[in-house]
A and B are shown apart, each in its own frame.
Chain A
């Protein structure tokens, strides 16, 4: 009877927690609305631990409030002399053992989950032809932008991670300059990108991002990395497996694509003269992961944001090119080229406008 009652309490508490917590936050960024197996597992751990902790808080509060109201001096009388109790072994044992039991209950799923989420052995699995069976993405975090390379597919992109739904996607995480941390709140927990070693973990993306506001999940840098840490956002586009394969094919098809200095298009010519040194316009660069100086722009026209966080429109792109320092203080693009209308080595307003048109036209999806 007693046991049943307790169970009922636990479940009702759990139900209340679920309703309360899931009402919180936006679908594309909230950990409370998980859109992947890893995030869901972590959300369940949250509910489980919060329920146990809520029980603890309730017990403590009841005892405390009862004691507080019952034993006020105004009720006891000004001269009341309480019995000077030393303590109680029985009580000490009770409130030592019960927390230990609660923590053991909490420790079991913790340990199981720690090992489960840390298991990246499948990363190295190969099929009969020696091809990797799992999709791996090499993530390189750089001062205020993200590079995503797909080593087994030979393609690279930046700022907007594109992944298939319904399978484990493995990540090799590394930072190129200072420590950052890779976090997609609504899909799963974070892992740091260290400067000296590669961290590995996996995430699962269950839902296609198409229907979301902006059509993407939001990703964040979660480790202080300098003035623009708050702006080091990236976005995640999740596609159904077939759509993902099509995307990969069109990415691979950009091999050899390049901006020409001799182009009749002012934007392309300007790009070739001033930007190509750092920004590739082909997804197949052949460079090792993390070697690129600036974000790969092959898919720029498909993106939802400029510089990871600005609204996607030409006006913002022009302003960004003119003065990146204004938008992302401490970024490494500032000073790599000159802006002005006087000297031939400076980018004029006309050139920047053409440049913006050219960059926005770069696309593999349109």
Chain B
């Protein structure tokens, strides 16, 4: 369906319909990217409001209740609805290109995953306008969340349940795609690091999200029907909730950081003009981090009172994670060692990432020292630590990769001067905000406080921290301006924009046609494009097949309708505890819509469509002029 009209200007309605029904991994990548950016902006704004409130002691800029809503929504949104979809945007865009596939293994599910995530996220955010947002922290510990009045927690539970299902679907999809759809010759040990980290993250999602689903489901039925899973007065247990949450929650940290590691492992070799040092140990370290990530959840609960033996075991297991992470850092440094470093915008993000992440990593090891963690836990020290990891690792990774992959994704380039300005503003702001928070924590300031009394020795540092936060906000604005400006700039129509591309995606000429590679490439080693380039192959790649018909999946509106069904059902569940008469019919209606879509999908034969050789040649000529992608 999208085979026609490539390159021709389409009306707004047609474009909208195209995006609502698309199953194309690149378009879904765009949608993930922009949805992620939207929620990143919202959550960043919430953070700014909090930092303004904490700028001076005894401030009344926001009320206590609103502050708790802000801190809950900031954490929830940043982790589930900003960082995850932004990374999914890159995974969707880049992984199929890196492995030479035409799309993901299940394009329909890919679309369903996006819409579930997006509508779940919208549902969660509606809470702001419908009686108050969740206010029990992103962890939403059971005793407080059961106690919390209003519908805030119901929004949290239902919204995350829906968007979590979307994330789980996407995670499984990536695993299947990477295992089954690699181009001929691309063995596992020839896969680029970003593809490797996506594979491991897919596996982590597959195992980590079910415990969250269980925890949220228990919470849902507790609040809807008084099921008493967590109500201790009725024999329930809130510690179980903490375990379930962190069995998910700790791998979630690696779900976010591993793709960022992958992105940096793509950026650094390109701008060091040197092969990634210790590829196989990088792969091994990724797998090991993923595995150990499941073994350490209780280090979030050292103060819960699990007893010395449990604390000791989880302390040592946590320290062990530092070893593979250290391997990665040294491998990155040895990659630039002896290379030829060109400081571009993506590279400066990578160079800024290394010391920032190391700083975040070592404070993590300090918190693994359980008795020391009794002091650090739930203080501003931990706030500083996880922002060093998440901002210094994940966000710098996302920003760097945005500049790095912008030429492939949009066929435009982001302004370099503005890019450096963004980096320095954001980077200085980031360290200003969070470095000093380590000391606030050590000086006794608990986290998640909406205000503090003056003269406890915290006033100056809080003020500095807030100034830093404003700088970070400014940096993000620069980035968005840069993106908007680039849309108006001249198309690149080139391949290998950075000149030293190594992996398969750089062999493609932009704009990337909807079927990706005209002919499936043949992979002759690690860094396949680099190999071909340096053997003087003018074609870009060696191909595994002649130009022939290409089989592509059809778009479908069903994923959107299915997700809307869940969205409707969620409203029924939300108001069910209020005893309204329409709640059960609405639940049945919503789930009915979803099930009906599933039935339609199951009984309708959809074999996709074929792009003929002639159409391919015509498309290539309309994109790149006579001669096509050569």
- Residues of chain A having any CB pair with chain B under 8 Å: 21, 24-26, 29-32, 39, 41-42, 45-46, 49-50, 53, 56-57, 60-61, 63-64, 67-68, 71-73, 76-77, 80-88, 91-92, 95-96, 99-100, 103, 106-107, 109-111, 113-119, 173, 175, 177-179, 181, 183, 185-186, 188-192, 194-197, 199-201, 218, 220-231, 309, 329-330
Contact = CB atoms under 8 A, between A and B. Distances in A.
B457 A194 contact: no
Contact of B340 (A82, A183, A191): A82
Contact of A114 (B147, B281, B308): B308
Contacts of B336: 67-68, 71
A118 B305 CA distance: 9
Contacts of B326: 56, 95-96, 99
Main SS class of interface, A: mixed
Contacts of A231: 451
B371 A72 contact: no
A80 B340 contact: yes
B374 A42 contact: yes
Contacts of A56: 326, 358, 362
A251 to B, nearest CB: 28
B297 to A, nearest CB: 16
B337 A71 contact: yes
B320 A26 contact: no
Contacts of B279: 86-87
Interface stretch (B101-109, B436-444, B559-567): B436-444
Contacts of B303: 181, 189-192, 222
Interface string B211-241: 0000000000000000000001000011100
A356 to B, nearest CB: 21
B280 A191 contact: no
A220 B446 contact: yes
A158 to B, nearest CB: 19
Centre residue among B280, B340, B365 by max chain A CB count within 10 A: B340
B377 A196 contact: no
Centre residue among A41, A42, A196 by max chain B CB count within 10 A: A196
Given A61-B355, A179-B141, A230-B449, A24 B442 contact: yes
A57 B450 contact: no
Contacts of A188: 374-375
Given A67-B333, A103-B322, A190 B443 contact: no
B274 interface: yes
10 contacts: A26-B456, A29-B456, A49-B365, A64-B354, A87-B281, A110-B315, A179-B141, A179-B238, A186-B444, A227-B63
Given A49-B365, A56-B358, A195-B143, A227 B64 contact: yes
Contact of B239 (A60, A82, A194, A225): A194
A223 B339 CA distance: 49
A231 B450 CA distance: 9
B623 interface: no
B323 A32 contact: no
Contacts of B281: 87, 92
Contact of B315 (A87, A111, A194, A230): A111
Interface in B313-367: 315-316, 319-320, 322-323, 326-327, 329-331, 333-334, 336-343, 351, 354-355, 358-359, 362-363, 365-366
Contacts of A67: 333, 336-337, 341
A192 B137 contact: no
Centre residue among B232, B304, B331, B359 by max chain A CB count within 10 A: B304
B320 A42 contact: no
Contacts of A64: 333, 354-355
A111 B239 contact: no
A39 B375 CA distance: 8
Interface residues of B, number: 90
Nearest to B439: A24
Contacts of A45: 369, 371-372
B15 interface: no
Interface of B: 63-65, 67-68, 71, 135-137, 141, 143-144, 147-148, 232, 237-239, 272-275, 277-281, 303-305, 307-308, 311-312, 315-316, 319-320, 322-323, 326-327, 329-331, 333-334, 336-343, 351, 354-355, 358-359, 362-363, 365-366, 368-375, 377-379, 439, 442-444, 446-453, 455-457
A118 B148 CA distance: 32
Nearest to B331: A87
B324 to A, nearest CB: 9
Nearest to B372: A45
B369 A195 contact: no
B443 A31 contact: yes
Contacts of B456: 26, 29, 218
Contacts of B135: 227
Given A99-B323, A224-B136, A194 B308 contact: no
Contact of B372 (A46, A63, A84, A199): A46
A229 B449 contact: yes
A50 B375 CA distance: 14
Contact of A107 (B315, B331, B338): B315
Given A31-B444, A86-B277, 4 more contacts: A56-B326, A60-B354, A107-B315, A223-B378
B366 A50 contact: yes
Contacts of B359: 57
Contacts of B337: 63, 67, 71
Nearest to B342: A73
B312 A76 contact: no
Contacts of B304: 192, 194, 199
A25 B148 CA distance: 34
Contacts of B137: 224
A107 B362 CA distance: 14
B366 to A, nearest CB: 5
Contacts of A53: 362-363, 365-366
A117 B372 CA distance: 11
Given A73-B340, A82-B338, A86-B275, A191 B305 contact: yes
A71 B443 contact: no
Contact of A68 (B232, B327, B351, B372): B351
